[in-house]
Amino acid sequence: MANRPLSPHLQIWKWGPHMAVSILHRVTGDGLAVVGLGVLLWWLGAMAGGAESYATFADLMGSPIGMIVLVGLSWAFFTHMMSGLRHFVLDIGAGYELDTNKFWSVLSPILAIFFTALFWAFILFK
């Protein structure tokens, strides 16, 4: 029996931005599903529970910890969206050239940070 790997292993592949963005896409999707769903259900329950329940929710979400959660959720949303758009372009068969792929892999999280900052600037300074 030959002593060889059955498939390409992590020792063969060099880490690149495209791999990091792909992993980040999965992590942000899971975070949006778990944390985002939890906040959404809490918000709906607080609205159904009356003014006192909603005031408790609004006070906690307006606190520094709540703002960190909300900013994190919006960052995860924009990161997932930018990476999803990148994957959509790849799915139609474009952007596979190494330089193009690397450029969009690096630009995707940068655009997500920019859009998150723009989103919160719009909310806070409106």
Tens digit of pLDDT for each residue in 70-90?
A: 999 999 999 999 999 999 999
pLDDT band at 14 (very low <50, low <70, confident <90, very high): confident
Average pLDDT over residues 82-102: 92
pLDDT band at 30 (very low <50, low <70, confident <90, very high): very high
Query: What is the reported pLDDT for 9?
Result: 66
User: Rg of the chain's alpha carbons, rounded to an integer?
Assistant: 20
Place of tokens 């999803």: 84
Average pLDDT over residues 37-49: 97
The model's pTM: 0.86
Q: What's the token pair of residue 14?
A: 């060099």
Measured CA angle at 42 (ends 40, 45), to 5 deg:
110
The full set of domain ranges for the chain reads: 17-124
Average pLDDT score, the chain: 92
Q: Does domain 17-124 have CATH number 3.40.50.170?
A: no
